[in-house]
Structure 1
Amino acid sequence: MPPRRARNADGAVRGPTSALTSFLAGLGVEAPNTNPYARREAPEDEAPSPVADTPVRPAKRRRRAVSVDSDDLDADGGSDDSDDDDDGDYSAGPRGGATPSGAVTPSVVPSALKDIGEMMECGECGKRFPVTQYTKEHPHKPRTWLCTPCCRTLGIDPYAKPKKPRAKATATPQRQKKDARNKIVHYEVTKGALALSEMCIGIIAQYIEDVQALGEIGRDRMDLVCRVISKTRRLTAETAKLFYSADRTELTMYDVTNLDHTAFVTLGMLCVNLESLNLQYCGQMMTDTLVHWAKQMRKLKHLELFGPFLVRKEGWIEFFKARGKELQSLSVTQSPRIDLETMKVLANECPDLRVLKLDEIGQLNSDFLIPIASLKKLESLAIISPGGTPISDAAVDELLASIGENLTSLDLRNNPELSDETLISIAKHCPNLRHLSLAHIPLSDAAVGRFFRDLKAKGWPGLVHIDLEKGHDLAHEALTALVAHSGSTVRWLSLLGWRNVPADDVAALADSHNLEYLDIGWCRHVTDFTLKDLLDGCPSLKNVRVWGCNNLTDRVPRRRGVKVVGIEMHAI
């Protein structure tokens, strides 16, 4: 049966009351106003009842227990700890200030967050509230904290999980050293404003499909436009025609991936006077392409192709027979179809060949060197990364004995079966050598030192380009002899991987006044002082690579105009 509703003296109907309210009403005492959202105000002409002014502790809620001070109860007319039922405006706190409802904001003293369960004053409304694991800091008043209703008023999720602060690692010497090693400093050279010509080239490259003719922009600028559009592989059969001309004698195209056999035939038809042709990434070139070129480009003397995978030996043979007499330079990279028969035809039909580069030829082995030995006019020879049986020291010795006298450049990179014996052959047969690359060949420190001492003893000129990359066993003896013979002439030098070379020996390169490029990556003993000596003593130096030199610090010296690449900062 529903509870009976009582009537006031004036006949108004009252709602159901609690036992305490009924008891006080029987004594003639009116219960205090327990509305948590409205201030209890007594009439001015009526004195407050002593019983009514006595603070009454609200009932504890089942979810949490909160104690309320008498001052709070007098100010609020009661306290309700429920955070889920607060939907109204918030009244002023005991000390005044501006509230969300337009009242005065309380003046709360900033303090650190107390432990969970303790009471604090809200930095927005001034009310006291219990600290929980979700308590949020005031967004505009540092080190003051918000109650749940004020979080909602300010648009903050009161129950969002707090972000856990990242625990700081113990500042041990080992940890500091590890953090320092992982920190890399990149030095960048800030470029100034672009030249007008560069801006124009960028616009041309951006709208290359809409360009009808490049006109008279100069050969070097046209080459730059071709380089820019090749980076994004926008060189197609249509755009490539912009670079074709009957009066062109040289043409370099840096990425012709999108050109097919028909486009290559068109190139030969529109550039009949070409003397030098360089095509990179020409994977769609066919056997018939070379057959057409043999008939079309009758003045061709220099040919460089990167990636002609599909050209069979029949195309090479016919091309050599037709154009071999005029051919002076041939560079082929990544062609698995060239075989020993092709090399024999090359040697017979190209007697004036001066430059030959065979890089990653699938069937190349020591037998290929026999017909090459008949090319007496060769000045530059590169046999790199052969795909067949590894080349032997004996085959190289026979080759150099035949053609070594005229060689000024020799590149034997990535021939792992070669050894110190090849150095002896070079020192015996190549008196005019200026460029030497023996990267990725297992040479000994003593043999390299003896090689350069022999060159000096014979009075042979110093080398200009030296690549001894990944010479893991090369150190003091090799570098000392190198500097003594070629230190004053070398311009390009790679000592990458010389892990045991002393820092003082590297610093001896400071007397190399012509040195422009130096790679001392993974030379473990190089320090800041070593690099300072090089920068001070090499006025022509423009590029230094120091990857893996872990003794360099953040105080490494710098010099304007010199690009230092690969600095890893190991000290803070």
Structure 2
Amino acid sequence: MPPRRARNADGAVRGPTSALTSFLAGLGVEAPNTNPYARREETADEAPLPVEEVSARPSKRRRAVSVDSDDLDADGGGDDDDGSSPGPSGSATPSGATSSVAPSTLKDIGEMMECGECGKRFPVTQYTKEHPRKPRTWLCTPCCRPLGIDPYAKPKKPRAKAAAVPQRQKKDARNKIVHYEVTKGAPALSEMCIDIICQYIEDVDALGEIGRDRMDRVCKVISKSRRLTPETAKLFYSAGRTELTMYDVTNLDHNAFVTLGTLCPNLESLNLQYCGQMMTDTLVHWAKQLRKLKDLELFGPFLVRKQGWIEFFKARGNVLESFSVTQSPRIDLETMEVLVEECPNLRVLKLEEIGQLDSDFLVPIAKLKKLESLAIISPGGTPISDAAMDELLAAIGKNLTSLDLRNNTELGDETLTSIAKHCPKLTHLSLAHVGLSDAAVGRFFWALKAKHRPGLVHVDLEKGHDLAHEALTALIAQSGSTVRWLSLLGWRNVPADDVAALAACPNLAYLDIGWCRHVTDFTLKDLLDGCPALTNVRVWGCNNLTDRVPRRRGVKVVGIETHAI
């Protein structure tokens, strides 16, 4: 038979209890807490009260064991009728006189404070709670439960919230890339007018005589937002134009390109970027319309087939002097042979990301004896070998002033030997993503110096992961007085002192030292102090730089990952 539930005099129901518990409850003594975790909260000074003191308790205290929520609501939260409240040790303490602790800020964890309820000193922990009725006073653990507070609840102190905000701001600041540059003053009136024109470009009937530079600026702005359409493109057409550059012609179709050729018959230089809608018939029309065209640069003419290229080359013939094309899968070996045969006066040739380009293409190119600038970048066919490149440079290298062989992954140190041997007039050299060794690059520049070759002006050795001391030392010795543009991006092992030696380059204006892991604030200070022409420095991945990196008026340092400005 299950034990019967006992009822108090007021009808409150209690759970089954032992005889001893019932006897003590009748005397007003609460049963001991058998929860092993709760017992830890009891302090040593909380000794059992004498029976005499227990019996002297008010009758209402004897009901505390079985009081329910309705009683609390009716009696004002369980406080005594005379305004007193039980203290942490069970003794009644008059309200308002329980503690004379003055309000104060919560101290650091481990320090001692006085309890705002009982006045005893206690060590501050991460769980220390604020007194609910006495702001800015704090409770010891035994005083929490009588006040209805869980002493081990997750802390929600203002101190924790205040700490979280700077931490979040600190993380956001760490992810922010700081661009150190001089803040410009008020914009020029011409710039303000250009911005207004670009904002309402669809409503402009004609640009008038605003000058070639400003017209180019307008074209850049509206191309950036891809608002260059067949209607707005007509603003840049005129019979008197000899040069035209359009930076994003994605929205121009075949008819718009035909209109271009009709309204600009005197063009000598044409540069179109993102011309994906150009078709074979477009070049056929231009072959008849643009009879003075000498310089053609196209980015992305995917749809133009071999027949269009061949007809255009035959029509232009000796007039064409510069041909640059990027991302055209239709150009094959036959197309290249026709180009070389029909356009022998080419001075500039750039072939980038051509799907079928391989070593066989170099054979006809070797017949272009007047070439001054050659770029063979990211070939899509079989990788070009060092031997094939040596034969090409032996045939045309004597007049080359610019050579760009980026992303030819199979070329190596032997190509450097060929360049030093066959290209005496070279001033611009780009060998990014080419497998070169530190010793070979060092020998290359020392060889140029020994032959009294002119110093290089533009040097791109990006992603030369193995390049370090020997390469940079020789480069500075041979081209330090002439170099204006230099990329050492990815030279992860180059010493900081060697980078600082670039301070001996008086004409250096652009420098990329991204991912040069040993660069420090002192390295950058040496460069700023020693390079008077420097205007742009790229430092992505140089994680030894701090927020105290030096600055100089007129020099933009891009890529500093810092916690604060």
Give the TM-score of the pair, scaled to structure 1.
0.73
Matched, 1:379 2:372: yes
Corresponding position of 1:156: none
Aligned pairs for 1:110-125 (under 5 A) are 110=103
Partner SS, residue 302 of structure 2: coil
Structure 1 residues 445 and 262, CA, compared in 2 at 3 Å: closer, same or farther? same
2:468 paired residue among 462, 475, 486: 475
Partner SS, residue 561 of structure 2: coil
What amino acid is aligned across from residue 62 of structure 1 in structure 2? Answer: D
Corresponding position of 1:67: 78
Percent same amino acid at aligned positions?
78
Q: What is the CA–CA distance in structure 2 between the aligned matches of 1:183 and 1:212, rounded to whole Å?
A: 45
Deviation at 1:255, TM superposition (A): 0.3
- 1:550–1:570: 8 Å Cα contact kept in structure 2? no
Q: What is the CA–CA distance in structure 2 between the aligned matches of 1:504 and 1:180, rounded to whole Å?
A: 32
Matched, 1:449 2:442: yes
Q: What is the CA–CA distance in structure 2 between the aligned matches of 1:401 and 1:370, rounded to whole Å?
A: 12
Structure 1 residues 162 and 276, CA, compared in 2 at 3 Å: closer, same or farther? same
**Runs of 5+ in structure 1 lacking a partner?**
1-17, 21-54, 75-93, 96-107, 121-132, 146-160, 170-174
Aligned pairs for 1:33-52 (under 5 A) are none
Structure 1 residues 560 and 537, CA, compared in 2 at 3 Å: closer, same or farther? same
Corresponding position of 1:370: 363
Deviation at 1:333, TM superposition (A): 0.3
Corresponding position of 1:126: none
Structure 1 residues 142 and 199, CA, compared in 2 at 3 Å: closer, same or farther? farther
2:349 paired residue among 356, 373, 385: 356
Corresponding position of 1:391: 384
Please list the CA deviations of residues 237-285 of structure 1 after superposition, one character each: whole Å capped at 9, or x if unmatched. 0000011000000100000000000000000000000001000000000
Q: What is the CA–CA distance in structure 1 between the aligned matches of 2:132 and 2:202, rounded to whole Å?
A: 58
Matched, 1:527 2:520: yes
**Runs of 5+ in structure 2 lacking a partner?**
1-8, 12-57, 86-94, 107-114, 118-127, 139-153
- 1:432–1:461: 8 Å Cα contact kept in structure 2? yes
Q: What is the CA–CA distance in structure 2 between the aligned matches of 1:513 and 1:483, rounded to whole Å?
A: 11
- 2:493–2:517: 8 Å Cα contact kept in structure 1? yes
- 2:116–2:137: 8 Å Cα contact kept in structure 1? no
Aligned pairs for 1:196-275 (under 5 A) are 196-275=189-268
- 1:180–1:569: 8 Å Cα contact kept in structure 2? no
Structure 1 residues 222 and 137, CA, compared in 2 at 3 Å: closer, same or farther? farther
Deviation at 1:110, TM superposition (A): 4.5
Structure 1 residues 530 and 188, CA, compared in 2 at 3 Å: closer, same or farther? closer
Structure 1 residues 456 and 181, CA, compared in 2 at 3 Å: closer, same or farther? farther
What amino acid is aligned across from residue 227 of structure 1 in structure 2? Answer: K
Deviation at 1:529, TM superposition (A): 1.5
- 1:180–1:571: 8 Å Cα contact kept in structure 2? no
What amino acid is aligned across from residue 315 of structure 1 in structure 2? Answer: G
Deviation at 1:527, TM superposition (A): 1.6
Structure 1 residues 554 and 246, CA, compared in 2 at 3 Å: closer, same or farther? same
Q: What is the CA–CA distance in structure 2 between the aligned matches of 1:185 and 1:260, rounded to whole Å?
A: 39
Q: What is the CA–CA distance in structure 2 between the aligned matches of 1:137 and 1:472, rounded to whole Å?
A: 64
Partner SS, residue 485 of structure 1: helix
Q: What is the CA–CA distance in structure 1 between the aligned matches of 2:554 and 2:426, rounded to whole Å?
A: 31
- 2:130–2:136: 8 Å Cα contact kept in structure 1? no
Q: What is the CA–CA distance in structure 1 between the aligned matches of 2:156 and 2:263, rounded to whole Å?
A: 68
Partner SS, residue 256 of structure 2: helix
Q: What is the CA–CA distance in structure 1 between the aligned matches of 2:418 and 2:299, rounded to whole Å?
A: 30
Partner SS, residue 325 of structure 1: helix
Structure 1 residues 499 and 19, CA, compared in 2 at 3 Å: closer, same or farther? closer
Q: RMSD between aligned alpha carbons?
A: 3.5
Aligned pairs for 1:260-339 (under 5 A) are 260-339=253-332
What amino acid is aligned across from residue 279 of structure 1 in structure 2? Answer: L
Higher relative contact order (CA 8 A, sep 6+): 2
Structure 1 residues 183 and 315, CA, compared in 2 at 3 Å: closer, same or farther? closer
Deviation at 1:192, TM superposition (A): 2.1
Structure 1 residues 365 and 136, CA, compared in 2 at 3 Å: closer, same or farther? farther
Aligned pairs for 1:505-544 (under 5 A) are 505-544=498-537
Q: What is the CA–CA distance in structure 1 between the aligned matches of 2:544 and 2:329, rounded to whole Å?
A: 44
Higher mean Cα deviation, 518-527 or 399-408? 518-527
- 1:551–1:570: 8 Å Cα contact kept in structure 2? no
What amino acid is aligned across from residue 452 of structure 1 in structure 2? Answer: F
Structure 1 residues 181 and 272, CA, compared in 2 at 3 Å: closer, same or farther? closer
- 1:283–1:308: 8 Å Cα contact kept in structure 2? yes
Deviation at 1:571, TM superposition (A): 11
Q: What is the CA–CA distance in structure 1 between the aligned matches of 2:485 and 2:435, rounded to whole Å?
A: 21
Matched, 1:426 2:432: no
Deviation at 1:462, TM superposition (A): 0.3
- 1:250–1:277: 8 Å Cα contact kept in structure 2? yes
What amino acid is aligned across from residue 357 of structure 1 in structure 2? Answer: K
Partner SS, residue 83 of structure 2: helix
Deviation at 1:341, TM superposition (A): 0.2
Deviation at 1:57, TM superposition (A): 4.8
1:186 paired residue among 157, 160, 178: 178
Deviation at 1:523, TM superposition (A): 1.2
Higher mean Cα deviation, 356-365 or 526-535? 526-535
Please list the CA deviations of residues 352-388 of structure 1 after superposition, one character each: whole Å capped at 9, or x if unmatched. 1100000000000000011011000000000000000
- 1:137–1:143: 8 Å Cα contact kept in structure 2? no
Corresponding position of 1:438: 431
Deviation at 1:135, TM superposition (A): 9.2
Corresponding position of 1:158: none
Partner SS, residue 363 of structure 1: coil
Please list the CA deviations of residues 93-112 of structure 1 after superposition, one character each: whole Å capped at 9, or x if unmatched. x99xxxxxxxxxxxx97468
Structure 1 residues 378 and 191, CA, compared in 2 at 3 Å: closer, same or farther? same
Higher CA-based Rg: 1
Corresponding position of 2:340: 347
What amino acid is aligned across from residue 302 of structure 1 in structure 2? Answer: D
Q: What is the CA–CA distance in structure 1 between the aligned matches of 2:244 and 2:132, rounded to whole Å?
A: 69
Q: What is the CA–CA distance in structure 2 between the aligned matches of 1:181 and 1:199, rounded to whole Å?
A: 32
What amino acid is aligned across from residue 479 of structure 1 in structure 2? Answer: L
Deviation at 1:499, TM superposition (A): 1.1
- 2:180–2:557: 8 Å Cα contact kept in structure 1? no
Please list the CA deviations of residues 65-87 of structure 1 after superposition, one character each: whole Å capped at 9, or x if unmatched. 6431344389xxxxxxxxxxxxx
Structure 1 residues 183 and 525, CA, compared in 2 at 3 Å: closer, same or farther? same
Deviation at 1:219, TM superposition (A): 1.1
Structure 1 residues 429 and 168, CA, compared in 2 at 3 Å: closer, same or farther? same
